[in-house]
Structure 1
Amino acid sequence: MFNLPQALKRLVIGRAMRSEELGGTLLPKRLALPIFASDPLSSVAYATQEILLVLTVGGTAFLYLTPWIALGVVVLMAVVVMSYRQVVHAYPSGGGSYEVVSTNLGDRAGLVVAASLLVDYVMTVAVSVASGVDNIISAFDGLAGYRVPLALGFVALLTAMNLRGVRESGTAFAVPTYLFIGGIVLMVGTGLIRLAFGDGPQASSAAYGIVPEDGRDTLAGLGLLLLGLRAFASGCTALTGVEAISNGVPAFRRPKSRNAATTLAVMGLAAVVMFSGITALALTSDVHYVDDACQLTGLPTDCADYVQPTVVAQLAAAVFGGYHSVLFYGIQAVTALVLVLAANTAFNGFPLLASILAQHRYLPAQLHSRGDRLAFSNGILALAVVAGGLLWLYDANVTSLIHLYILGVFTSFTLSQIGMVRHWNGVLRRGPDSAARAAARRSRVINAVGAVTTALVLVIVLITKFTQGAWLAVVAAILLWLMMRGIRRHYDAVAVELAVTDPQAESARPSRVHGIVLVSRLHKATLRALGYAEAFHPDALEAVTVAVEEDAVADLRAQWLEFDVRIPLKVLDSPYREITKPVVAYVRECRRTSPRDAVAVFIPEYVVGHWWEQLLHNQSALWLKSRLLFTPGVMVISVPWQLTSSGRAYRPSRRAPGSVRRGEPVLHGDHGRIGPPENS
């Protein structure tokens, strides 16, 4: 029978893949780069913009700080990339920062990293998609009113692509990523060449003045320092996603560690070149970008109606001849596309980390299993739901979302580098040969510098962004940490409770088995349940019905006698017309009467083919099961009857087992209360 949901599933994610096909999904470096590094590569599209956004609160007075802040970001990028190259060589199993910290600093510190990264992966999806939508609106400002639907649509598209599998998503995302790198390099190169020949491009916003916020244009001393640190913290968004490669080492082709380290180096070099070029071009072309458009003076329209083009959009228009040139639209297209696809870094990092945490019993076990396409489908769907909720809650606004960002990244950066220093200390204590000791010392220095640097940045980010919304990310990470600890305690408690301590006692059979078949009417489904229960040969067997309507009970008794059913029928009174309570009370009374006995309750159920039919059947059975399962010593057994709509109805060639002719005895036995029929 045609299954529409299954057909739609196959259309979206493709055919199911066998477990042994997992090796065919491993990635070469050319595909691993767009999959795992699209986030840090695309972050350069808004990192410079975020620096300018902070500095222009004082008008144009503090834009001279931009080159120094950008230099600090570049140095930090180099340090972090070199540090994580040590991680992929030392821990190639794919745990990344979580594995490093858990191994060297303990499980609790490892969970801090895990919680921080999970929160940051969610923010990566939200910020990347929102920024991509911003670039689309910069080219087509008529879409400004559809910001949230566009963002949610892109999340749904990314989810579908990733459910198809890592390799397929990499193939789809590789071309836009490489086009983005080429487009930015072309734009920066063209702009700097024009500048060298005295024809430097001028941004459209260069003609607008900036009104500083009250008192911000006279900042000095500590105030100026804090402003510069805040701008630096915002520029550090360029580093988000660097750790994803260390989490995804198992997805690389062999030699895994070397390929991952090479990909990290290429990613770092490309990101530094693009970020430096965009920043230099933004300064020389006098880009003015503010938090509130009403800070700008000389606008051609009312500030409330003015939509600021992004920094990249302004540069592309200045370099390539205006907002309607072909190359402008090309740059905007690939920038918007790669920003949306940058969320793919999180769609690979989040499910991998969640799978490892589930394997360690810190998250639900379902997150560890792979789906039809050998991707961690449950993790992908969980990420999509949470990120989509954030985009909807914050109206897909980059400025609002960015304050929740990067805190988790630098928490994991700092703790992982401290963990790596301890790792190299352990290596040196084990006394390797002189060459290995020299390499270990060199690596320890790199990681020590990384630890100190990222710790300073973490403090800066915490101070400058905490009151602007970063506290929400802190609270989310703390709640996630507590939840994971609770999940682990639950799994540990269950393992202890289920552990076998006395095999003989714990495998002992019950003294007797009391079988109960729940009956409402005497039809084929009931007769099958009675026959199935009898096949178990319980020590006692009875049918039980509830007297909700006296006429229905009378008809049932009459049929019972007419068909000569030899299994005793017990009728439970129900003055308040309830079904569940009388049955549960009777079953519990059976247990109290004979505590060493087991009670087996057989429930006939219909199997239907349509969801709406399920609403018409089995509701009483479902509620009964949910109550009986909490009663110790009671086994609940469903006996299905497939209706024709299920497509699997039983169609006997002559006569179905259990069908009844009038006057024919049925379902008789030779044990317990079940005696032979009088005429046998």
Structure 2
Amino acid sequence: MSKLTDLPKRILIGRALRSDRLGETLLPKRIALPVFASDPLSSVAYAPGEVLLVLSVAGVSAYHFSPWIAAAVVVLMFTVVASYRQNVHAYPSGGGDYEVANTNLGPKAGLTVASALLVDYVLTVAVSISSGVENLGSAIPFVVENKTLCAVGMIVLLTLMNLRGVKESGKLFAIPTYVFVAGVFAMIAWGAFRGLVLGDDMNAPTAGFEIRAEHSGLAGFALVFLLLRAFSSGCAALTGVEAISNGVPAFRKPKSRNAATTLLFMGALAVTMFCGIIGLAMATDVRMAENPARDLLRDGAPVGAGYTQNPVISQVAAAVFGDGTFMFVVLAAATALVLFLAANTAYNGFPLLGSILAQDRYLPRQLHTRGDRLAFSNGIVLLSAAAALLVHLYGADSTKLIQLYIVGVFVSFTLSQTGMVRHWNRHLRTETDRARRRHMIRSRAINTFGAFFTGLVLVVVLLTKFTHGAWVALLGMVIFFVTMSAIRRHYDRVAEEIAAPDVPGDDAVRPSRVHSVVLVSKLHKPTLRALAYAKLMRSDKLEALTINVDPEETKALREEWERRGLDVPLKVLDSPYREITRPVIDYVKRLRRESPRTAVSIFIPEYVVGHWYEHLLHNQSALRLKGRLLFTPGVMVTSVPYQLESSEAAKLRARKRAEWNAPGSVRRGPVNNARDKDRDRAANRK
């Protein structure tokens, strides 16, 4: 059965990779750019349109503010890029904003950043896929008619591609990303040449349309609020910038310098494309409306519900290259494809952050382990499921989804830069070298300005987008925060409960001889109890067995084993593919082959928990291992339970059920009821 299920898995994601091949999956800058920067690079396909959509509320006359809004977005982009270049040098371990905030501002700030980033990564997938479907739908009617189905299908396809590994998916994503960038630059250059040198009159398909203003003649506070709302929508161009700081471990050496260089390239490309598209949209008289069926007027009449409003980049390409020309088709295809692939930024950021949070005991430990292709498979699947649910709920409508966007990313921006200021202040107190102090002071100034600017933008985003859907993103952050806090409390409580005491207690009492194989993951109370119980079995040989999945944890286990002076030999089996079950099965079979008449007894420490959700957090490896060992001839499997405090609740529930349905109570009940009825009938006769 395992071979039947393993075959399609190998076809879809490829052969498993050994742990020692992790270095081969590291990325050069040319591949890292499309892998980690596809989101901010592709956002120029919809960010300019969002600016014009908001300004259209006040009519065409408000469009002349768009260059100033673009200039503000450019200043913010360069501020964020400069700030994150400090981050990748100071914290190259891959924790990114979470590590910075957690280290310098405390666990609650770190968890707030983590919650914001997790929500933002899910929205990145939903918005990018939905926007890509809309761009593709302008050429293929079937896609528009089945937006949700096509969007979910693309999420499934991206999931399979990422399960094959970061490097393989990066190679697939590099070509369309670079084609998109080249196409946009070609459009900007050719449009500038036609307009400035040749003097051609370039008109977008909507150039002759009029816009019915919802609020014409805005002034004072209302106008300022509208401009701030347009600016916050344009800030969508900054989403994904933080992904590079989270993905530093995936770069080739020197990791920090390569990540900082990639950040700089990404910022320069994104800013140039964003400004170029805004400028060409103004030059070609692009018209956009939040409700095009009602507010876009053609010859004085609304265009109606049958009109499909194409994105700004599509309209600009039609004006510059000509509708239906080869370059127009190439750019349209590359735009749709790169928007699909922009979700890959989240597919690299979410699983890595989930792994770090799982290591810090904020998420289930299954998210910390790598899959067959050395990718964090569980995190990839979890991200896909959340994004698919969001796409389904919002009908793959990017205009609705983008209102939820960028709140989380600016929460992480602000707290991260504030944490970096604390970081430099702490180091300046002890640093005496003048050159290094000057460097730290300059870096602190950059991060201080970044914290102030991003904090100001966060306030603007909250004020302008809260009623338009930002509250949903905030609710998601709260749910993540509460859930992760609860998981951490559970793991902390269990760790405290099962911690091995320095002075041997009841769990470590040395009994008489026994032979067995005791499976060990860590040295704690359940392990000590299993060793003590195994000694009572009076077998010929006793040994402890652990699987080397994480070399650092294995080294720590050996040192603790030697420090405690345990008289049971500890055997370590290497597992290059990070498997637990197969090395144990192979070892047991080898013991049986060497001595066929010897029965092998396996002792597995297990937690006894009292709530259903705790089963999801514990004993998963033990259950899989027992299922395989039970079918191995000549092998006895013994579970050594360790009752956690929460098991008392289960014990009480079981006791109440036993008292209610005790053996024989069902038979006794009707008898007693019959006697009561007989007495009642006798009383009535009297």
**TM-score of the superposed pair, with normalisation by structure 1:** 0.75
Q: What's the counterpart of residue 441 of structure 1? A: 441
Q: What's the counterpart of residue 656 of structure 1? A: none
Partner Cα distance (2:152, 2:25) in 1: 28
- Offset at 1:139? 2.0
- Offset at 1:169? 0.6
- Offset at 1:298? 0.9
Q: What's the counterpart of residue 598 of structure 1? A: none
- Offset at 1:637? 11
Q: What's the counterpart of residue 87 of structure 2? A: 87
| Greater alpha carbon shift after TM alignment, 494-503 vs 421-430 | 494-503
Partner Cα distance (2:406, 2:305) in 1: 30
CA distance 1:450–1:510, change in 2 (3 Å): same
Which secondary structure does the structure 2 equivalent of 1:438 belong to?
Answer: helix
- Please list, as runs of the form range in 1=range in 2, the aligned pairs for 1:645-656 lying within 5 A after superposition: none
Q: What's the counterpart of residue 11 of structure 2? A: 11
**Letter matched to residue 372 of structure 1:** D
Q: What's the counterpart of residue 151 of structure 1? A: 151
Q: What's the counterpart of residue 260 of structure 1? A: 259
- Offset at 1:432? 3.1
- Offset at 1:638? 12
Q: What's the counterpart of residue 369 of structure 1? A: 369
Q: What's the counterpart of residue 49 of structure 1? A: 49
| Greater alpha carbon shift after TM alignment, 430-439 vs 105-114 | 430-439
Q: What's the counterpart of residue 269 of structure 2? A: 270
After superposition, give the CA deviation of every residue in 1:111-163 in whole Å (9 maximum; x if it has no partner): 10000000000000000000111110122234311111110111011100110
Q: What's the counterpart of residue 357 of structure 2? A: 357
Contact 1:139 1:329 in 2 (8 A): no
Partner Cα distance (2:278, 2:95) in 1: 34
Which secondary structure does the structure 2 equivalent of 1:27 belong to?
Answer: coil
Task: Please say if 1:31 is aligned against 2:25.
Answer: no
Q: What's the counterpart of residue 312 of structure 1? A: 313
What's the C-alpha RMSD, in Å, of the aligned pairs?
A: 2.7
**Letter matched to residue 100 of structure 1:** V
- Offset at 1:285? 0.4
Contact 1:179 1:334 in 2 (8 A): yes
Contact 1:192 1:200 in 2 (8 A): no
After superposition, give the CA deviation of every residue in 1:243-264 in whole Å (9 maximum; x if it has no partner): 0000000110100000000000
CA distance 1:394–1:325, change in 2 (3 Å): same
Q: What's the counterpart of residue 129 of structure 1? A: 129
Partner Cα distance (1:639, 1:206) in 2: 67
- Offset at 1:508? 4.0
- Please list, as runs of the form range in 1=range in 2, the aligned pairs for 1:93-108 lying within 5 A after superposition: 93-108=93-108
- Please list, as runs of the form range in 1=range in 2, the aligned pairs for 1:279-318 lying within 5 A after superposition: 279-293=278-292, 294-298=294-298, 303-318=304-319
- Offset at 1:329? 1.2
Partner Cα distance (1:84, 1:201) in 2: 39
Partner Cα distance (1:255, 1:135) in 2: 38
- Please list, as runs of the form range in 1=range in 2, the aligned pairs for 1:324-335 lying within 5 A after superposition: 324-335=324-335
Contact 1:119 1:473 in 2 (8 A): yes
Partner Cα distance (2:626, 2:357) in 1: 38
Contact 1:123 1:405 in 2 (8 A): yes
CA distance 1:200–1:90, change in 2 (3 Å): farther
**Letter matched to residue 252 of structure 1:** F
Partner Cα distance (2:285, 2:93) in 1: 47
* Structure 2 gap ranges (5+): 513-535, 540-605, 612-621, 635-686
Task: Please say if 1:424 is aligned against 2:424.
Answer: yes
Which secondary structure does the structure 2 equivalent of 1:297 belong to?
Answer: strand
Partner Cα distance (2:449, 2:22) in 1: 38
Task: Please say if 1:472 is aligned against 2:472.
Answer: yes
**Letter matched to residue 243 of structure 1:** E
- Offset at 1:240? 0.1
**Letter matched to residue 433 of structure 2:** D
- Offset at 1:274? 0.4
- Offset at 1:504? 4.0
- Offset at 1:628? 9.9
Q: What's the counterpart of residue 587 of structure 2? A: none
CA distance 1:212–1:146, change in 2 (3 Å): same
Q: What's the counterpart of residue 116 of structure 1? A: 116
CA distance 1:233–1:637, change in 2 (3 Å): closer
Partner Cα distance (1:203, 1:66) in 2: 17
- Offset at 1:478? 1.0
After superposition, give the CA deviation of every residue in 1:367-425 in whole Å (9 maximum; x if it has no partner): 00000000000000000000000001100000110011000000000011111111111
Task: Please say if 1:380 is aligned against 2:377.
Answer: no
Which secondary structure does the structure 2 equivalent of 1:431 belong to?
Answer: coil
CA distance 1:428–1:304, change in 2 (3 Å): same
CA distance 1:431–1:5, change in 2 (3 Å): same
Contact 1:138 1:313 in 2 (8 A): no
CA distance 1:637–1:146, change in 2 (3 Å): closer
Contact 1:141 1:307 in 2 (8 A): no
Partner Cα distance (1:420, 1:173) in 2: 32
CA distance 1:450–1:333, change in 2 (3 Å): same
CA distance 1:471–1:22, change in 2 (3 Å): same
Q: What's the counterpart of residue 499 of structure 2? A: 499
CA distance 1:399–1:507, change in 2 (3 Å): same
Q: What's the counterpart of residue 397 of structure 1? A: 397
- Offset at 1:505? 1.6
- Offset at 1:482? 1.1
Which secondary structure does the structure 2 equivalent of 1:204 belong to?
Answer: coil
CA distance 1:2–1:107, change in 2 (3 Å): closer
**TM-score of the superposed pair, with normalisation by structure 2:** 0.74
Partner Cα distance (1:204, 1:639) in 2: 64
- Offset at 1:500? 2.3
Partner Cα distance (2:257, 2:470) in 1: 36
- Offset at 1:201? 1.5
CA distance 1:638–1:64, change in 2 (3 Å): closer
Partner Cα distance (2:411, 2:401) in 1: 18
Contact 1:162 1:347 in 2 (8 A): yes
- Offset at 1:302? 5.0
Partner Cα distance (1:506, 1:142) in 2: 66
- Offset at 1:649? 9.4
Contact 2:133 2:143 in 1 (8 A): no
**Rg bigger for which structure?**
1
Q: What's the counterpart of residue 58 of structure 2? A: 58
- Offset at 1:641? 11
**Letter matched to residue 16 of structure 2:** A
Partner Cα distance (1:191, 1:638) in 2: 62
**Letter matched to residue 291 of structure 1:** E
* Structure 1 gap ranges (5+): 512-534, 539-625, 652-680
- Offset at 1:452? 0.5
